[in-house]
Chain A
Amino acid sequence: MPERKLERRSILDPAVADLLSNMEKKQAVSQLPQKIREKKAREREKIRKRREQRVTYDLPPDLRQQIKNLAAEHRVPASQLVTLALVRFMEAYQAGQVDLGIYKQISNSPRYEWNLVLPDHLLKKTYRKRSVTR
């Protein structure tokens, strides 16, 4: 007989559990010395500010790896590299150098009208190290 997977049941409304754990953390912080409390507050503020900048997109794993490699090579944050790439793309798009139409295919999803289907050769292009000239 297959073993039944045991699942721990939640005994609280998820929103109440979330609130309680949050309040618990705040209570714990309030017991700390003032210097540490201030440090924690600064960290929280930093996280809150970053929320505006955060975004999640799906990328092909190869491309993701290429970005990671390039960022490592130049010793820069991958986020900044992606920002640069997107800014350059937007400029190129505005200048009419990018035609999305050639990649468009009808989507079956109720949310989108089109999918951008990128050809394999575009995705499989591997990034090669380039000597930097100053």
Chain B
Amino acid sequence: MKIIGFANQKGGVAKTTTAIVLAHGLARLGIRTLLVDLDPQGHIAFSLGLDKAPGLFRLICLNEPLQKLTVNARPNLDILPGDKNTEKVKRQITLSDFRETILLDQLKQTNYQAVLIDMAPSLDVLHINGLVASDWVVIPTRLDALAIDGVKEILLTMGEVAQRGYPFAGYNILPTFFDRTTRETYTQLQEIARTFGKRVWPPIPQDTRIREAAAYGKTPWEYSPNSPAMRGYPDHRPNLGGYQQILERLMEIIHA
């Protein structure tokens, strides 16, 4: 089992969207996948056309078994939903012993081939739990100075987590909302490519259809599988960027 975390302390960088698209992509390839929502906004369930539910709260605070709390969202794809009760989980974790590994201990007992964790844009005990549980971290980021500062912050946090004895197998940075017509995008991409080299994944083009998909409770694989955000830029051969290409990169990590 591989646990992949999606984190960036900056909000609005497409963490949830990325986690949903990749989780459903893995499921469509036959990988038994669990998607865990650590965000009190509960947008994982909403985006998949399901109701928000206090899944994480009941798992951590009420000690109910995970199998009872997961909801089947699509073939091969289960989710552990969240809602505003997730806030209470933080308090509970703060008062617990071995608080950093509470989530990891729960996930270790499952038999999924891949677990994807969507983290909230914050730095709290739940966030640390998510990072401790993750083997690999994907850091979605917009290509602007504020979001890239968020990348720096999350990398510092990951460094601290690793120093505490929970190392990561690796991480990748995923540029999102990519608009190749602006000079700022180019400058920022150049900058992060220079700094992080191969850890920078091909970008996800800006695409309104992704927002529409969430409104209909569909994943982009169902709503707009041929849109630029999914297939990348068609004027390159092969197509460049897009979630399809990122899914291939993720499969390499899962099978590594």
A-side residues, CB < 8 A to B, are: 10-13, 15-20, 22-24, 26-27, 48
Contact = CB atoms under 8 A, between A and B. Distances in A.
B130 interface: no
B236 A22 contact: yes
7 contacts: A13-B200, A15-B202, A16-B200, A18-B236, A19-B180, A20-B190, A27-B183
Contacts of A10: 198
B101 to A, nearest CB: 32
B220 interface: no
Main secondary structure, interface of B, reads mixed
A17 B190 CA distance: 9
Contacts of B235: 48
Contacts of B159: none
Contacts of B240: 15, 18-19
A24 to B, nearest CB: 8
A13 B198 contact: yes
B198 A11 contact: yes
Contacts of A15: 202, 240-241, 245
A15, A18, A26, most chain B CB atoms within 10 A = A15
A91 to B, nearest CB: 33
A24 B203 CA distance: 16
B65 interface: no
Nearest to B245: A15
A19 B189 contact: yes
A107 to B, nearest CB: 27
B216 interface: no
